Structure 1
Amino acid sequence: MSDDDTMQKKMELDPNDPMDQALVWVSRIATGEADANALAEFERWRDSDARHEKALNEARRLWVMLGEPLEAQYAPVMASLPASAAQRRQARPRRRWRRPALATAAALLLAVTLGGQWQRDWRFDQTTGTGEQRTIALADGSTMWLNTGSAADVQVDGNRRHIRLARGEAYFDVAHDPQHPFTVDAGSSQVMVLGTAFGVRREGEDVVVTVQRGKVQVASADAPAVFVTADEQVRVHPGAAPHIEAVSAEQMLSWRTGRLQFENRRIGEVLDELKRYDRRLVLVSYPQAGQQRVSSIVDLARLDEWYDTLEQSLPVKVTRIGPIVWIHAS
């Protein structure tokens, strides 16, 4: 089975469970799969049982994280149905748009979309999308691995070796050059090395540096510089003293091998980490996620297989519908 086939695999749903039915309808409507006939069927299902309306409200709450109101997806199609099929829902006033107004709105939407794309990706030298990783050979012989959802500017030449990590996470295997220190600017912190291997991750205002080989200097504007050596990790938070602890660098930086390693970690923490790599919306409604712990190795190319294992080993159900993975108590 290919990676795309794995991502598209759907779990069998309970045809008698109103929540499962509601999630199917929300997915079909929000993704544009439902035509006019299907929407008429949806209206009949919705009105046939009070439990369906309640389940639909819950399904909407899950879907709202995608940023699209449900009615905005199906109301235009419902308006084209015969009155007998559409009259179950209260009529909503609709504005009439002249063609010039539509053209202006389309141009504005395009400008906003392109502006957002530029703001997020195009203005940086190197970027990765969700679930994507890239390996970049630098001009000085060093190598940079860019992890999921990351962006960086690169200035490496004969006179300067400087990286600005704008967001996300990167790993560096730095070629030794005593005359030209290698620096990584990560917002509130700056990392300086001569030749070593280390990872840098931005987590909100925090910067986390993990050293696999050699020694690095980590400096920030409001704290003294600290030195971090192999199998150590430092977390820098604005206004706080840097915190250094011993870690397994191989485990912490395993993402560049296509796998994540977790040892005695809370399930909630593991799922939060996997959300960074899954292009779908991962929702967790499992009260024990903050208490129960697991040790596991996750193949990033086979996330669904790991979700299946989780379902087999814990009292949880994993429901996949369209771009949603919902992990909840069984």
Structure 2
Amino acid sequence: MTENQPPADSDKPDAISEQAIMWFVRLRAESVTVDERRLFQIWHQADPAHREAYAEITAFWEDADFHATLDAATLSPQISLNSKPVNSPRRRLDIAPGAKPLLAAAACLVIPALIYQPALSCWQADYCTAVGEIKTVQLSDGSQVTLNSGTALNVNMRNGRRYVQLARGEAFFEVQHDAQHPFQVDGRYSNTRVLGTRFVVKEDADSDTVSVVNGVVEVSRDRQNPATLNANDSMEVSARHQGEIRHQPADNATAWLKGSVSFDNVPLKKVIAEIGRYRRGSLIIRNQVLQDMKVSGRFDIRDTDKTLESLQQTLPIRIYRFTPWLVVIA
């Protein structure tokens, strides 16, 4: 079994349904890779039963009755839009009659992903962090790397080479200067080359972002036409293009090192995707209007429930907690 592929096929319908659920959740994740999409196509075309099972899952998620269930659900007083944050573990959702079967099915889409997703990149990584974990490792050349939540790295420090592959997530690099041996970091789309500096590489679904804290780095796509970034510069690199150099405070890129994330007029969907990196389960936004709502502010990533409550109090949204692993924003 490859690291990006669900368990081997079985003749049992339940096993095929479980695989279909895994693929459905994985393909909707911000961090889904091109290789995973390719493996899904292979699995999807391998058996008519696979296509049928996946179609059933998709039909359920798009079913109007399910969304009517969300509309029918009412918030309990502990988490109402106008209430103050409450630390009680008894927060719950009062669910309309007949809604529980649909909500249970929705939860079933999430729970298998909790088991499957952590193994996607950690299985073959040299260094890896779990969801919500941040840790620093020292490399053999004296450089230090701090791995953000859900991050995986592969490292090659042999024969004078200094090479790191960011397989998943985000990392802060403090590189020991060595003029004879440049330090190289490859993301999904980006190539970064340095001698000695401090910078962040962040991998998202559609692009990598390189942000420089101090020093100078060269950033390129496919190692062609490198751009030079200085302190407080950042650049996005995607599969198709190398973006323009942007100037922004380096503190924004490194805020997670101090337990927070900062946004300035950013769509809610990006804010929720970032918050989701620090908690298990799924955060789902009901519609496009809410997804495009602009958000500014600094939020605590050490307590994502508190962050969600803060968003609920300052924006015209409601937070529905169906299970500890499924939160819907409507």
Length-normalised TM-score, structure 2:
0.65
Percent identical pairs in the alignment equals 30
Residue aligning to 1:171: 172
Residue aligning to 2:225: 224
Deviation per CA, 1:269-325: give whole Å up to 9, x if none.
211111111113222225542343222222111111122222222333323343234
Tell me, what secondary structure is at the counterpart of 2:93?
Answer: coil
Residue aligning to 1:274: 275
Residue aligning to 1:206: 207
Paired with 2:206 and 2:317, the residues of 1 have a C-alpha distance of 33
Paired with 2:234 and 2:263, the residues of 1 have a C-alpha distance of 16
The structure 2 residue matched to 1:13, chosen from 93, 98, 108, is 93
Tell me, what secondary structure is at the counterpart of 2:103?
Answer: helix
Alignment of 1:309-324 (within 5 A): 309-324=310-325
**Structure 1 unmatched ranges of 5 or more:** 1-5, 19-51, 69-112
Alignment of 1:234-273 (within 5 A): 234-273=235-274
* CA positional deviation for 1:236: 1.4
Alignment of 1:24-43 (within 5 A): none
| Counterpart residue type for residue 178 of structure 1 | A
Query: Conserved in 2, the CA contact under 8 Å of 1:254 and 1:260?
Result: yes
Query: Conserved in 2, the CA contact under 8 Å of 1:223 and 1:240?
Result: no
Residue aligning to 2:56: none
Paired with 1:278 and 1:177, the residues of 2 have a C-alpha distance of 38
In structure 2, the CA distance between the partners of 1:120 and 1:255, relative to structure 1 (3 Å rule), is same
Query: Conserved in 2, the CA contact under 8 Å of 1:316 and 1:327?
Result: no
Q: Does 1:65 align with 2:109?
A: yes
Paired with 2:120 and 2:218, the residues of 1 have a C-alpha distance of 31
* CA positional deviation for 1:152: 0.7
Residue aligning to 1:107: none
Query: Conserved in 2, the CA contact under 8 Å of 1:10 and 1:320?
Result: no
Larger-Rg structure: 1
Root mean square deviation, CA, Å: 2.8
**Structure 2 unmatched ranges of 5 or more:** 1-85
Paired with 1:308 and 1:205, the residues of 2 have a C-alpha distance of 28
Query: Conserved in 2, the CA contact under 8 Å of 1:201 and 1:209?
Result: yes
Query: Conserved in 1, the CA contact under 8 Å of 2:221 and 2:242?
Result: no
In structure 2, the CA distance between the partners of 1:249 and 1:66, relative to structure 1 (3 Å rule), is same
Deviation per CA, 1:208-250: give whole Å up to 9, x if none.
2111111101122274111111111111123324432222221
Query: Conserved in 2, the CA contact under 8 Å of 1:223 and 1:242?
Result: no
Residue aligning to 1:76: none
Query: Conserved in 2, the CA contact under 8 Å of 1:285 and 1:326?
Result: no
Aligned length: 243
**Bigger mean CA offset, 180-189 vs 225-234:** 180-189
Query: Conserved in 2, the CA contact under 8 Å of 1:223 and 1:239?
Result: no
Paired with 1:251 and 1:145, the residues of 2 have a C-alpha distance of 16
Length-normalised TM-score, structure 1:
0.65
Paired with 1:239 and 1:314, the residues of 2 have a C-alpha distance of 35
Tell me, what secondary structure is at the counterpart of 1:141?
Answer: coil
Deviation per CA, 1:66-86: give whole Å up to 9, x if none.
266xxxxxxxxxxxxxxxxxx
| Counterpart residue type for residue 318 of structure 1 | I
Residue aligning to 2:26: none
Alignment of 1:68-107 (within 5 A): none
In structure 2, the CA distance between the partners of 1:285 and 1:11, relative to structure 1 (3 Å rule), is farther
* CA positional deviation for 1:122: 3.1
| Counterpart residue type for residue 124 of structure 1 | A
**Bigger mean CA offset, 141-150 vs 283-292:** 283-292
In structure 2, the CA distance between the partners of 1:130 and 1:57, relative to structure 1 (3 Å rule), is same
**Bigger mean CA offset, 309-318 vs 162-171:** 309-318
